[in-house]
Amino acid sequence: MTGARRVTLAVPNKGRLVGPTLDLLHDAGLVFEERDRSLVAHVENVPIDILFVRTGDVVEFVRDHVADVGVTGADLLVEAGVSLPVVRRLGYGRCRLTAAVPKDSALTCLGDLGGLRVATAHPNSVRAWSASSGIRVEVVPLSGAVEVAPRFGLADAIVDLVSSGETLAANGLREVGDLLASEAVLVRSPGVTDAPGDAIDALSTMLGAVLEGRRRKYLMMNARADRLADLEALLPGLSGPSVIPLAHAGMIAIHAVVGADDVWGLLPRLKAAGASGILVVPIEKLIA
């Protein structure tokens, strides 16, 4: 590892993307100390330095080649008006940029917003949407308390980032449509030509392996050999289950990888089909 330039990875230092990002990096096997997230963490086992910056600044750090790669929200790329190569979508930080109106408003869809005032903390994203959809709106930029703008006559509608939409409903607002969907993404700097591509590829592969592993479980069970066909029908696995003869004649062990969301429905059916000693084991990493 000596001699190779170290990769600089920019990640958010505050806010809702921090926890899942640090969990993902640790789960991928990067060994580093956070030390109250002071600026830089040196990864001990891989040639990567982690740069902790404000969520909103990650895009600029990567665009300006201060960092080779970065973790940010896809929505923040749009808001910054910066297009960077997305190395991998990370599946967390999912949210929608959605338009909402007061519950008693007559407006029902995005098209109804034409010509109206829209309050938002994401003015560039709304302008970009307006330009691409052809629905002209008057953007009222606000930095906070966007939900109350219609109540105070500042705007006819709002556009905000939501995940469940509960906050909007709690503020007497009704959704009329989404402008974009977002999740956390790993982006890379287009201008860095001396970055060790192998290290970036390895980082992306390992993050993907963790995300894939989290979506699956490893099932192990014992059964009588004559129940194999019934059990196999329930267990597609990655390339079919592994079947291992046990010391007791006529008994087998079956191992299979299944979707984490399927486990709840599968276990009672496996038991009914003759499986016993069923173990559900987490998968640390999976490369299919």
- CA atoms of 146 and 154, how far apart (whole Å): 10
- Give least dist CB 92 to ligand AMP, A: 8
Q: Is 208 in the site for ligand AMP (CB under 6 A)?
A: no
Residue with smaller CB distance to ligand AMP, 56 or 196: 56
Rounded to whole angstroms, how far apart are CA atoms 187 and 71? 6
Residue 177, H or E segment: strand 173-182
Contact between residue 287 and residue 216 where contact means Cβ atoms under 8 Å apart? no
Cα 218 to Cα 284: distance, rounded to the nearest angstrom: 10
Site residues (CB under 6 A) for ligand AMP, limited to 245-274: none
Whole-angstrom distance, CA of residue 275 vs CA of residue 219 = 11
Among 59, 78, 93, 150, binds ligand AMP (CB under 6 A): 93
By C-beta, is 55 or 189 nearer to ligand AMP? 55
Q: Is residue 95 a contact point for ligand AMP (CB under 6 A)?
A: yes
Out of 55, 125, 171, 189, name the contact with ligand AMP by CB under 6 A. 55
User: Which residues, numbered 164-193, are part of the site for ligand AMP (CB under 6 A)?
Assistant: 182
Applying CB under 6 A, among 6, 16, 117, 174 the residue interacting with ligand AMP is 16
Count, residues in the chain:
288
Nearer to ligand AMP, 112 or 147 (CB): 147
Q: Is 15 in the site for ligand AMP (CB under 6 A)?
A: yes
